[in-house]
Amino acid sequence: MYGVMRARARMWVRRMRAARRDAGMVTSEYAMGLIAAVGFAGLLLKVLTSGQVQAALQGIVEKALHG
């Protein structure tokens, strides 16, 4: 009985130590994801505000309204 409890306690300690080691990765992964999302949003904004895309979108809207 004592051996089983001791093994469970060791397993719990290992899990807690592993959780502490990985705790910092969540923040860095979140930051990298945020940087990537902002970069993608900037690229998308640049594409959507270009003259060719605006002309194409305006053509689609005019066709939908008149047709």
pLDDT digits (tens, 9 = 90+) for 21-60: 656 667 888 899 999 999 999 999 999 899 998 899 899 9
Cα 24 to Cα 48: distance, rounded to the nearest angstrom: 36
| More confident call, 20 vs 5 | 5
Identity (one letter) of the amino acid at 44?
L
Give the per-residue pLDDT at 56: 92
| More confident call, 4 vs 33 | 33
- Tokens for 46, please give them: 């640049």
Give the per-residue pLDDT at 12: 83
- Which one-letter DSSP state was computed for residue 50? S
Non-local (6+) Cβ contacts of 4 within 8 A are none
